[in-house]
Structure 1
Amino acid sequence: MRFGYSELCLAHDPGSRHPESPDRLRAIRERLKRKHGVEYVDSDPCEIDRLATIHDRDYLESVEEFCAEGGGSWDPDTSAVEETWDAARKSAGLACWAVDEALDGATGRETPFSIGRPPGHHAIEDDAMGFCFVNNVAVAAQYALDHDDHDVERVAIVDWDVHHGNGTQDIFYDRDDVFFVSLHEQGLYPGTGAVDETGEGDGAGTTMNLPMPAGTDDVEYLAAFEGPIHDALTAYDPDLLLVSAGFDAHRHDPISRIRLTTEAYALMTDRLRTLADETDAAFAFVLEGGYGLDVLADSVAIVHETFDGREPIEPGADVSEKAEEAIEAVVEEHDLDVDLE
């Protein structure tokens, strides 16, 4: 894979006790040293005009000013330093780079993965939250839709971070040109993402939430990908498929109770790659969360390995009754013809 990366993203440092630390990117880079075919590419930062296609300009200017004055605690979870504004602009720029690469035809071993930070999927139109200041994947999706050369009419975003991507959902909730899918742990921060949150107005039916019960494992996530996610996104037929790639649903991540193994990320990548091929959609990844440094690095590495020719190992267990009920609720809410047997 080709990884979008900049040293500037290390300059955003919320402090040694904060889980969203620069060490996340250092761990990924160290792990990828052992892999063949890894390439790093920098990009231009996003200017405020591009960020303002998603975010309220007054909000953006307040973040810029807050950082220029030295930063501090924006809220109890979300902290900034002087360099955070530039890092956030760069992180969004790397996400847009990934879109450009994908839409210019990069596939297979050239598939783009933006590993910028701070992450973005909790940032709403006019506020920061959950470690996020700029919604990178939303900016990138809008960039694809606005760019005349790309000829993109529909974007799908699949968010497999263990936390609901509330910011991305809110931004596109009443629009039909972005289909947002989120798998997340039921009841976890920020407490949004119920099954019946499916969009409104023009966007009715273009939001799909799969709140998974604590303890859900690989085979149960895979059932969601092979069932409602596959059917809904195949019918939607996107021109671009973006993954909000958080890795905190891993069983060894310190802040969740979902039980995915590292192999699950290879399996989910494989299923989405197949879906992108079936719909002839460009395909790219944008980093979100993941706070156990070793498992974050291993999980990003296995996504790379999947594009480098490694075949995922299929699970052999059955779907639990609780997880099957959760998936069936999504199937019913979206009126899909999915056989879970």
Structure 2
Amino acid sequence: MQFGYNEVCLDHDTGERHPETADRLRAIRRGLNKRHGVEYVDAPPASRAAVEAVHDEGYVGEFERFCADGGGNWDPDTVACGATWDAALASAGLSQWAATAALEGADGRKTPFAIGRPPGHHAVEEDAMGFCFFNNAAVAAQTALDDDLAERVAIFDWDVHHGNGTQDIFYDRGDVFYASAHEDGLYPGTGAADETGEGDGDGTTLNAPLAAGAGDADYAHVIEGALAPALDRFDPDLVIVSAGFDAHRHDPISRMRVSSEGYALMTDLLRDVADASDAALAFVLEGGYGLDTLSEGVAMVHETFDGRSPVAPDGEPDEATIDLVESLRTRFDL
């Protein structure tokens, strides 16, 4: 794979004991450097105009001034320093690069993966939250649409937390399909199955809130049983994966049971989903706070594109997951 990376992202300092640290990127790099076929690409930062295409101009200006004044706690969880402004633009720019590279033909062993920070999927149009300042996946999707590289974009979010920001930004839009598989009831408390979009976006939001303890078979069942048929009908030109790795069974802040092998399985299934629509495929880093499991998860995505076949999951999906997918199929007439 090609990994978009920018040293500026290391300068975003969240302080001691914060789970979202520069060590996350360092751990990913250490893990990838042991693998074959890894290529790193630097990309320019996002422009202010690109960010303001999905974020309120007033909020962007307030965030810039906050960083210029030295930063601090934007909220109890979301921390900035003076360098966070540049890091956030760099992270958004890496996501733009991933989407654009995919649409320009980068696939197979060249499939792009943006490994920037701060992450993005909790950032709403007018505010930062949940460690996120700019919504990287949303910036990437909007760039693809504005540059006439795509007419329809799908975003699938496998982070353990629901991507409320991405959902909100595109909730009334018919040209972006947002889907999420996440732990039910976890921060930020959004992502119910009946949140399906409104107006022009009616039917272009699909949420699969999974019970705590869901594992590989459950996530695979959501992708095969609900996401694949929904995206087959939506027919996207680009699929962006908001790739968090905090649903891993050993991640310190979730109760899910996804294995490292499970991320390889999901990657393989999503590659099939994109291929079925002849869509480009790009990955954007979100969460993941166990350094070893984060590093291993990203490496499993890479190895899947490098030719390694994933192992089928042990066991069957939980009965609650089967019922959820059946209800989604009924709700979306799949």
Aligned partner (choices 186, 189, 193) of residue 188 of structure 1: 186
CA distance in 2: counterparts of 1:226 and 1:194, whole angstroms: 20
* Paired positions, count: 334
CA displacement at 1:323 relative to structure 2: 1.9
Correspondences of 1:83-232 after superposition (within 5 Å): 83-148=83-148, 150=149, 152-232=150-230
Is residue 76 of structure 1 aligned with residue 83 of structure 2? no
Question: What's the Cα RMSD here?
Answer: 0.7
- Structure 1 runs (4+) greater than 4 angstroms displaced: none
Question: So what's the TM-score if we normalise by structure 2?
Answer: 0.99
CA distance in 2: counterparts of 1:142 and 1:320, whole angstroms: 36
Q: Which residue of 1 is the match for residue 247 of structure 2?
A: 249
Q: Cα deviation per residue 1:76-122 (whole Å; 9 max; x = unaligned)?
A: 00000000000000000000011111011001000000000000000
* Residue ranges of structure 2 left out of the alignment (5+ in a row): none
Q: Which residue of 1 is the match for residue 298 of structure 2?
A: 300
Correspondences of 1:266-285 after superposition (within 5 Å): 266-285=264-283
Q: Which residue of 2 is the match for residue 330 of structure 1?
A: 328
Q: What amino acid is the match of 1:60?
A: V
Q: What amino acid is the match of 2:43?
A: S
Is residue 262 of structure 1 aligned with residue 268 of structure 2? no
CA displacement at 1:125 relative to structure 2: 0.2
Question: So what's the TM-score if we normalise by structure 1?
Answer: 0.97
Q: Which residue of 1 is the match for residue 238 of structure 2?
A: 240
Identity %: 64
Q: What amino acid is the match of 2:83?
A: E
Q: Cα deviation per residue 1:277-296 (whole Å; 9 max; x = unaligned)?
A: 11110110000000000000
CA distance in 2: counterparts of 1:296 and 1:60, whole angstroms: 30
* Residue ranges of structure 1 left out of the alignment (5+ in a row): 337-341
CA distance in 2: counterparts of 1:117 and 1:77, whole angstroms: 15
CA distance in 1: counterparts of 2:303 and 2:57, whole angstroms: 40
CA displacement at 1:319 relative to structure 2: 1.8
CA displacement at 1:33 relative to structure 2: 1.0
Q: Which residue of 2 is the match for residue 13 of structure 1?
A: 13
CA distance in 1: counterparts of 2:123 and 2:9, whole angstroms: 17
Is residue 47 of structure 1 aligned with residue 47 of structure 2? yes
Q: Which residue of 2 is the match for residue 339 of structure 1?
A: none
Q: What amino acid is the match of 1:55?
A: H
- SS of 2:36 mapped into structure 1: coil
CA distance in 1: counterparts of 2:221 and 2:133, whole angstroms: 33
Q: Which moved more, 1:281-290 or 1:308-317?
A: 308-317
CA displacement at 1:320 relative to structure 2: 1.6
